[in-house]
C-alpha cells in the first residue's frame, strides 16, 4: 500500500472511477450509455457485482445513463428505476443457468435467456437457441434495443428507451416515450459478444442535433477496475 493506504490496483481503480464520473458529468449527449465486461445485475454463474451496484449504478442514475455488459453467457434485461441494464454475453454459447437469480434486484428483470439452449429462459424460447446478440437502433427521440437468437430472430424487444433531457436545474433524466415507432433512425449498432471480450464499452452516435456517446474502457478485474480508459469515441452518421 502507498501513503494513501490503497494498493496500486486500488489507486489505479480510483483514477478510473474519477475519469468515468467526470466524463458522465460533462457529457451533453442525448443518449448516454456505458458498457463494461462485468454486469451490474445478472442471474448467471457469477451473478450481480456488488461493487458495480454500489458505485456504478448511482452514477448511471444521476446522469440519465444506461449500461450494457457481458461476462455471463446469457441475454438479460433489467429495469431498475430509470436505469436500464443489459447483459449480452451469449455470443459463444447459450446459456448459463440462472443460479444467481436471487442476487438480482427483486422485480427488475424484464427478460432472461438462460439454461442449455435457452431451456430455462423467462419467458420460454420458441426453439433451441445456440447463442445470441443485441441490436440498438437510435432514433430522434428514443433507442430500440432488441435481443436476438443466433439466427437473428428477435427473442425480445425492450420498451423504447428515451433520449435524455436536461431540467432547469441542470439534472439529466430520460423523458417519457410515446408508444409506437420512432421513424427517424439516426444510427444503429450491433453488439459483438461481450462474454469473453476484454472490453468495457459505451455507446455513441451523432446525427443532426441528436448525439450519443460511447465510452471505451479495457476489461476490469471485477471490483478493482484495473483498467486504462480511452477518450469517448463518437460515431458520425
200 CB contacts (<8 Å, ≥6 apart)?
34, 35, 36, 37, 69, 215, 216, 217, 218, 219, 220, 227
Q: What is the pLDDT of residue 197?
A: 31
- From the CB of residue 163, how many other CB atoms can be counted at a distance below 10 Å? 23
Which among 13, 65, 21 is positioned nearest to 40, based on CA atoms?
65
| pLDDT tens, N- to C-terminus, the chain (237 residues) | 555 678 888 888 889 899 999 999 999 888 999 989 999 999 999 999 999 999 999 999 999 999 999 999 999 999 999 999 999 999 889 999 999 999 999 999 999 999 999 999 999 999 999 999 999 999 888 999 999 999 999 999 999 999 888 777 766 666 555 455 555 555 555 554 433 332 233 333 333 344 555 554 444 445 554 333 333 433 333
Q: What is the pLDDT of residue 213?
A: 53
pTM above 0.85, yes or no: no
Q: What is the pLDDT of residue 173?
A: 67
Grid look-up 428514443 returns: 142
Reported as a single tens digit per residue, the pLDDT across 97-155 is 999 999 999 999 999 999 999 999 999 999 999 999 999 999 888 999 999 999 999 99
Rounded to whole angstroms, the maximal C-alpha distance in the chain is: 58
Q: What is the pLDDT of residue 165?
A: 81
Contact 73, 95 (CB under 8 A): yes
Whether residue 95 has a cis bond before it, omega within 30° of 0: yes
Which among 71, 36, 12, 22 is positioned nearest to 228, based on CA atoms?
12
Q: What is the pLDDT of residue 199?
A: 29
Q: What is the pLDDT of residue 228?
A: 38
Amino acid at each position: 500500500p502507498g501513503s494513501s493506504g490503497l494498493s496500486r490496483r486500488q489507486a489505479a481503480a480510483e483514477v478510473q472511477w474519477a475519469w468515468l464520473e467526470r466524463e458522465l458529468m460533462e457529457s451533453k449527449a442525448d443518449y448516454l450509455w456505458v458498457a463494461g465486461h462485468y454486469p451490474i445485475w445478472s442471474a448467471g454463474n457469477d451473478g450481480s457485482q456488488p461493487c458495480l451496484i454500489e458505485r456504478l449504478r448511482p452514477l448511471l442514475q444521476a446522469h440519465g445513463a444506461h449500461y450494457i455488459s457481458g461476462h455471463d453467457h446469457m441475454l438479460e434485461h433489467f429495469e431498475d428505476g430509470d436505469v436500464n441494464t443489459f447483459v449480452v454475453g451469449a455470443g459463444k454459447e447459450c446459456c448459463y443457468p440462472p443460479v444467481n437469480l436471487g442476487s438480482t434486484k427483486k422485480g427488475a428483470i424484464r427478460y432472461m435467456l438462460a439454461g442449455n439452449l435457452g431451456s430455462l429462459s423467462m419467458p420460454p424460447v420458441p426453439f433451441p437457441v445456440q447463442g445470441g446478440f443485441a441490436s440498438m437502433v437510435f432514433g430522434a427521440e428514443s433507442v430500440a434495443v432488441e435481443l436476438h437468437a443466433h439466427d437473428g430472430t428477435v427473442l425480445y424487444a425492450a420498451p423504447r428507451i428515451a433520449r435524455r433531457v436536461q431540467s432547469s436545474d441542470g439534472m439529466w433524466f430520460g423523458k417519457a416515450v410515446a408508444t409506437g415507432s420512432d421513424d427517424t433512425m439516426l444510427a444503429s449498432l450491433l453488439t459483438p459478444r461481450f462474454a469473453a471480450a476484454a472490453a468495457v464499452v459505451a455507446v455513441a452516435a451523432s446525427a443532426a442535433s441528436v448525439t450519443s456517446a460511447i465510452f471505451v474502457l479495457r476489461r476490469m478485474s471485477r471490483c478493482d477496475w484495473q483498467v486504462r480508459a480511452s477518450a469517448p469515441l463518437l460515431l458520425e452518421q
